[in-house]
Structure 1
Amino acid sequence: MTVVPLRPLRPSTLATPAAPAVRRRRLLRPGWPLTWMLVGFPLWWVLGISSFIGHLAAVVMVLELARLRRIRVPRSTGTWLLFLLWVIAGVLVLQVAAPHAVPDTSMGRYISWAYRFGWYASATVALVYIGNMREHLTTSRITRAGAAMFLTVVAGGWLGILMPHLVFPSVLEVVLPGSLTHVEFIEFLIHPEVSQDYAQAVASHPRPSAPFSYANIWGLNFACFLPFFLHAWLGPDAGWRRRLALPLLGLATVPAILSLNRGMWIAVVAMAVVVALRSAAHGRMRSVVALGASVLLLAGAVAFSPLGDLVQSRIANPVSNDGRASLATLTVQSVLEGSPVIGFGSTRDAVSAFYSIAGGSSPSCPLCTPPALGTQGQLWLVLYSQGVLGLVFYLGFLGAWLLRGLRLPSPAATVGVCVLVAQVVTLPFYDSIGISSVAALIAVGLLWREDDDRRAAAGHTDPSDEYSLGGFIGLTRRHALLLLVCAVAGVGAGAAYQVSQGPQSVATVSIFVPEESELADVGREATLDTLAQLARDRQVTSAMAAAAEHPIDPDDVYVSADPNSRILNLRYAGSQPGAALAAVDAAGETVIRLRTELLDAERKDAVAQFDAQYTSGIAAVATVDESLDRLRDSGTGVGLETLENQRTALLDAAGRAAGRGARAAVMPLDAGQVVRPAAVTVSHDALVVAMGTGLFLGLLVGLALARVRGVVGAPLARVRDVAGSAEVPVIATLPARAVTPDGRTYADHELAWRSAVDVVRLHSPAAVVAAGRDEQSLLVAELLDDRSHDDGRTDAVRRLGAERAVVVVATSTTRLGRVRRRVAGLRRDDLDVVGLVLIRRPRPGWGTRLRSVITTHRKDFQWSPFLPKK
């Protein structure tokens, strides 16, 4: 009786020390790096590590993935890996001078390249992590983490509205030394910002940007994480969240409007249209009605509030359209002229402002410096950094999964499709480097999982058909020699092509053009932009062609200017250093000469104008004198004082005109002078671009050949591990001479034949089929099927529907690809391929081949000094 009260106490006593362990497991349950990266984003922002939290989370996710035996990857992964390969290619051309860009060699480009590549790699790891942790990382858990990120974006927007001038250092900014925190790029990464100043006429308030540095990045993340919030707080598993979803969306509308992000507005409208169309296509009309009512209610609330005037003002004043169009045009021209295949690896500073070649930041205009080439849109960033092929790979991967997701009806697939639609719609406007790139590949991960579920429900999923990371690694490892040969050939071809074009000798000269103080009074002052057109005159290119002794296209003369100065820079690239130097020297002299002739003509016109002013003034004085004489003769004194004052003013004006004309006639004309003499440097940039382009095009060709070779496959005789490569165990091996054409066996191979028959009987009832269509495989398959069955049936194909087990027969000359396709086809028909019977045909060595050639053509090899007898 005394023991009974102690029994309930024992479990509680044991549970006390075990509680912390349970709490730790819940805190760090599988999938925690991805959820913590999104849920804890406000903390990472305050700590100053939000700009590279994806890199840190990716390291942890890689450590967890390394424990798996098989790491699966989604379809179209090869296209994305090619894009990452093209990102790596950018390292080779980071120091290459790009057309229409400042020709400097900044080492900071390596930092910006590493930053962007780190986010691409982190997003890739998140994608693979979602696909391989599907048992632990559920869709609800992923969407709730994305919803938490959306709430963080909304809270940051309200923080930027309520406290736009809030400034505080991050924890990392306090810890790091000042020499690092004052670097512009480092400060951009670690310094918190709550708003972005907006100096245009359409608004007088800052645009919210917290927890990001720019309002456009805030708008992109708002659009990307909105579908996660809608699924988590309005979906079937929302629970108590559903009651708070609509009020939170109403609160989110205010910073969404005040951010003035037209691209984000377009993305939200596009996502609403996609959701409506998908709901209507799947018969969910209640969802369509609810969505339409919500949109109308929201639009009415905005229209009848002060936010409506702000929206109309923003739409009516597209102040950034011209600048974006000019920047996009320069970006496309630069990459197509300089490096169209692999791009330039990173962005470049534009050589001048859009309104003037001498424009730039100044105390009176701090924002006059244009954005860097390759910014203001992920489309332009990828095009400029990775070239045309890199853009094709990037858009190909996202486009393939967007189209694949449109066929999936589930709500999770709708989330993924909406995020990808937001990414595609904002490609020309916003740079999606950062957490938004992770959101895009999280969406692809959700679509990947839904696509797998659909294929499994349709019975088309088989473990052998799964894509795996080891498959891509094995492909490159098996064909390493082929890839090496193609890469070396590509580098050689690129180098040979550029060497045939000759080295690039870049010659430059700088001219200082003074202002025309005297002549400017008559409206004849020339700006550097008009002088830049003079530098492209036909006389200049003719003088350059004469000095270089070869024709020169006016487009080959590159004209720029130092910002906020009167210094004009002329640059010309040629194949010969001496010819390029002579050409640019002649260009400078010709420009100054033409400028002198223009000034001389303008002086003559100015002197003529001053003389005309003097003549007209003297004529007016004579008219006044006549009037004065008439008044004096008439004895009338009325108006004499007025006419005297007018006469004096006319004489003063005529005198000033005469003096200015005299000064203009003798004034020395300074058309300009060379401040930086002509100099030439031999540039290897074109060679670097050509070799880099050849290298990666060669790798691309090698990968294509390896893929084709992998599909076709090598003969089984050359495959080291037949069972591993064909994914079928080899259960028996037969010599090629074990079976005669009439079906009888040789005596010396009878034991091997009987062993093969016995092995097949062990797997019976099993049908035996041939992998190929060669006669020996078909004959052996028929004989084995006949000998291994007691009933004597020989038509194996007729029994495939009744017997689940199948044995495949192949010869050593059968291609691996044919065997794998045959096995995959049988498995798709719900058959169990239990083994492979391999018929080995001896492959003669070089000595045997040489002897056979000599034996066959023995008479041709015989030689005698005596003439043959007739």
Structure 2
Amino acid sequence: MALMTSPVARPDRAAPTAAVLPAWPLLTLFYGLPLIWAAGALQFAPTVLALFMLVLLVLRRRVVVPGAAWILAVFLLWAAASSVQIDGFGSWAGFALRWVNLFSALIFLVYYYNARENLDHRRVLRAAVAAWATLVGLGCLALVIPEARLTTPVGLLVPEAFTSNELVQDFVFPPLAEVQQPWGAPEPYNRPSAPFPYTNGWGSAFVILTPLVLAYLTTVRFRARHLLIVAGLAVSLVPAVATTNRGMFLGIGVAMGYVLVRWALQGRVLPALGGITIVAAVAGWLVVSGSVERILGRQQYSDSTGDRGDLYLDTFRATLDSPLLGYGAPLLDESVGIHMGTQGYLWTLMFCYGFVGLGLFVAFLHGSTVLTLGVRSTTGLLVHAVPVAACMFFAYYGLDAVQFILISLSLAVLLRARRYGEAL
């Protein structure tokens, strides 16, 4: 397998023919999301599919690796070096899961970049719509049977010694919702989480997938069936509000605000005004319906903002004592009762892999986002809104495998279009 940053012409003989990469290994994760989740395999499927893709890339005679992927690969090497700081089986297991999730995203990125014959941005966007439909459908189901939890084939195969761990149990016997009743709350908050173990996972996926669904709508001619997607966007507000997730609405606001500002800067006044009108109408509905009051009301019983502030300060101070390699894994902060290196991917990167690891990841995510800033089409701007929002919300959201793969694929779409002049 020859790794290149760009194709190289060989004047003395014809270039070897590269094997065509099939689309199914990449698309399976998104179209198969309901079955993968129901099997209890969502934490493992991305890695399995990435390994299939890696084998296909190795068998391909020529592989082009964009510069952004090299930065992510260097970050993975640095993260691996940080593992020398880990002590304890549980910490090792958590480190391995985080590392293979990042590795899987790297393979997805490189695979799409090279699969030009069978994968374009339209196919990726259609797959994103399928994943979004699963997210919204399970979010609505969670409001009907919030305390339901699946018994899965993978869960039945995992030894009880492992499934007794609460985190492992949530992975292989996934709940539909987080049911929380903070002290003093008159009734429980049923917060959708499926197909992810926790509500913040649902929220981050919603921020990522919504712009991609809107991008898909710009690539197709209007047909009656597309009204189902538009109706689904309206229905999605119901489980979204039920999450009472402030960070999710902030992320959506950043993504949509970015697109509207870019339209305005391009002189596209009418689309910008239309978008502002829609956003204002949704915001008005949230206020009038009492949704905003419900979202803010949960904070009266749970001061998550104050707890996070204390945790972030303690995390930063602790990292100063191990600034290069970090600690490899989160550690309990006894003063607030929460693990340092959690409650946001920025803090995970800084605490687990030190300031160098954080810098490398920022170089990948923020650097690639800036590099692809030249995109101008509506489709391209909506795809670009995903990494733009991620550059902000990674400070308070964790990034599971599916979420980071979607962000990486969005960047891959933009980077490949920029490299080869593909129309978005």
Q: Output the TM-score relative to the length of structure 1.
A: 0.45
**Do 1:413 and 1:450's aligned partners in 2 also have CA atoms closer than 8 Å?**
no
User: Partner of 2:361 in structure 1?
Assistant: 394
How far did residue 303 of structure 1 move?
A: 2.1
Residues 126-525 of structure 1: pairs in structure 2 closer than 5 A: 126-200=108-182, 204-237=188-221, 239-314=223-298, 319-337=303-321, 339-350=322-333, 352-354=334-336, 370-454=337-421
Other structure's SS at 1:143 match: helix
Q: What letter matches 2:175 in structure 1?
A: E
- Tell me, in whole angstroms, the C-alpha distance in 1 between the residues paired with 2:379 and 2:53: 23
Task: Give, in whole Å, the separation in 1 of the partners of 2:153 and 2:343.
Answer: 30
Q: 2:27 and 2:314 mapped to 1: Cα distance?
A: 41
Alignment of 1:751-830 (within 5 A): none
Contact 1:54/1:119 (8 A) holds in 2: yes
How far apart in 2 are the matches of 1:341 and 1:215? 32
Q: CA deviation at 1:304?
A: 2.0
1:82 is matched with which residue?
Answer: 74
> Following TM superposition, by how much is the alpha carbon of 1:391 offset from its aligned partner in structure 2, in angstroms?
0.4
Cα 1:177/1:265, change in 2 over 3 Å: same
Judge conservation of contact 1:140–1:237 (CA < 8 Å) in 2.
no
Q: State the match for 2:37 in structure 1.
A: 45
**Corresponding letter in the other structure for 1:30:** P
The answer to whether the 8 A contact 1:82-1:393 is kept is: yes
Any residues of structure 2 matched to 1:666-815 within 5 Å, and which?
none
TM-aligned CA deviation for residue 435 of structure 1: 0.8
Q: Quick check: 2:178–2:191 contact (8 Å CA) kept in 1? A: yes
Distance 1:125 1:411 in 2: 27
Q: Does the residue aligned with 1:349 lie in a helix, a strand or coil?
A: strand
What is the DSSP-based 3-state SS (H/G/I as helix, E as strand, rest coil) of the residue aligned with 2:63? coil
Check conservation: 1:234, 1:241, Cα contact below 8 A: no
Please list the CA deviations of residues 596-626 of structure 1 after superposition, one character each: whole Å capped at 9, or x if unmatched: xxxxxxxxxxxxxxxxxxxxxxxxxxxxxxx
C-alpha deviation, 1:415, in angstroms? 3.2
SS at match of 1:342: coil
**Are 2:343 and 2:396, in contact at CA under 8 Å, matched by a contact in 1?**
yes
Cα distance, 1:237 vs. partner?
4.7
CA spacing shift, 1:347–1:238, aligned 2, 3 Å:
farther
Alignment correspondent of 1:122? 104
Distance 1:451 1:310, change over 3 A: same
Shift of 1:89: 0.7
Paired residue secondary structure (1:197): strand
Decide whether the 8 Å contact of 2:149 with 2:173 is kept in 1: no
TM-fit CA distance, 1:217: 1.0
**Post-superposition shift, 1:424?**
1.6
Instruction: Using the TM superposition, give the Cα deviation of residue 401 of structure 1 relative to its aligned residue in structure 2, in angstroms.
Output: 1.3
Per-residue deviation, 1:161:
1.0
Matched AA of 1:311? I
Identify if the C-alpha distance between structure 1 residues 237 and 384 changes in structure 2 by more than 3 Å, giving closer, same or farther.
Answer: farther
Contact 2:177 / 2:190 at 8 angstroms: preserved in 1? yes
Shift of 1:393: 0.6
Q: SS of 1:420's equivalent?
A: helix
Counterpart Cα distance in 2 of 1:111 and 1:336: 25
- Residue 121 of structure 1 deviates from its aligned partner by 0.4
For 2:138 and 2:73, locate their aligned partners in 1 and report how far apart those are by CA, in whole Å: 34
Alignment check: 8 A CA contact 2:38 2:152 kept: yes
How has the CA–CA distance of structure 1 residues 238 and 145 changed in structure 2, closer, same or farther, with 3 Å as cutoff? farther
Instruction: Give the Cα separation in 2 of the matches to 1:415 and 1:130.
Output: 19
Under a length normalisation based on structure 2, what TM-score does the superposition of the two structures give?
A: 0.89
Matched to 1:326, the amino acid is D
- Give the distance between the partners of 1:231 and 1:241, measured in 2 at CA: 16
| Aligned-residue offset at 1:316 | 6.9
Which letter does structure 1 place at the counterpart of 2:157?
A: V
2:385 is matched by which residue type in structure 1?
C
Q: CA deviation at 1:77?
A: 3.3
Query: For 1:369-388, what per-residue CA distance to the aligned partner results, in whole angstroms no more than 9, with x for missing partners?
Result: x2211000000000011100
Indicate the residue corresponding to 1:73 in structure 2. 65
Identity %: 27
Write the deviation string for residues 218-277 of structure 1: whole angstroms up to 9, x where unpaired.
101111111111112344456444322321111001111110111111000001111101
Looking at structure 1, the residues matched to 78 and 32 of structure 2 have their Cα atoms a distance apart, in angstroms, of: 32
* DSSP-derived class of the 2:397 partner: coil
- Compute the displacement of 1:335 (Å): 1.5
SS in 2 for 1:71: strand
Contact 2:246 2:295 in 1 (8 A): no
Cα-Cα RMSD: 2.1
Q: Name the amino acid aligned to 1:211.
A: P
Q: Distance in 1 between matches of 2:381 and 2:65?
A: 21
Counterpart of 1:773 in structure 2 is: none
Mapped contact 2:69–2:109 kept (Cα < 8 A): no
Taking the aligned partners of 1:237 and 1:439, their CA distance within structure 2 comes to 24
Q: Report how far residue 427 of structure 1 moved.
A: 1.7
**Is 1:161–1:208's contact at 8 Å kept on the other side of the alignment?**
yes
Equivalent-residue separation in structure 1 for 2:32 and 2:84 (angstroms): 37
The partner residue of 2:48 within 56, 61, 64 is 56
Determine the structure 2 residue equivalent to 1:32: 24
- How far residue 353 of structure 1 moved from its aligned partner, in angstroms, is 3.5
Please state whether the residue corresponding to 1:50 is helix, strand or coil.
Answer: coil
TM-superposed CA distance for 1:317, in Å, is 7.0
Q: Is the 8 A contact 1:335 1:384 kept in 2?
A: yes
Cα 1:88–1:39 shift into 2, 3 Å: same
Provide the rounded CA distance (Å) in 2 between the counterparts of 1:312 and 1:331: 27
Question: Post-superposition shift, 1:290?
Answer: 2.3
Partner SS state of residue 154, structure 1: helix
The superposition leaves residues 451-504 of structure 1 with CA deviations (integer Å, 9 ceiling, x where unpaired) of 1134x89xxxxxxxxxxxxxxxxxxxxxxxxxxxxxxxxxxxxxxxxxxxxxxx
Tell me if the contact between 1:90 and 1:342 (Cα under 8 Å) persists in the aligned partners: yes
Contact 2:154 2:172 in 1 (8 A): yes
Cα drift, residue 289 of structure 1: 2.5
- Structure number with greater Rg is 1
For 1:180 and 1:315, locate their aligned partners in 2 and report how far apart those are by CA, in whole Å: 34
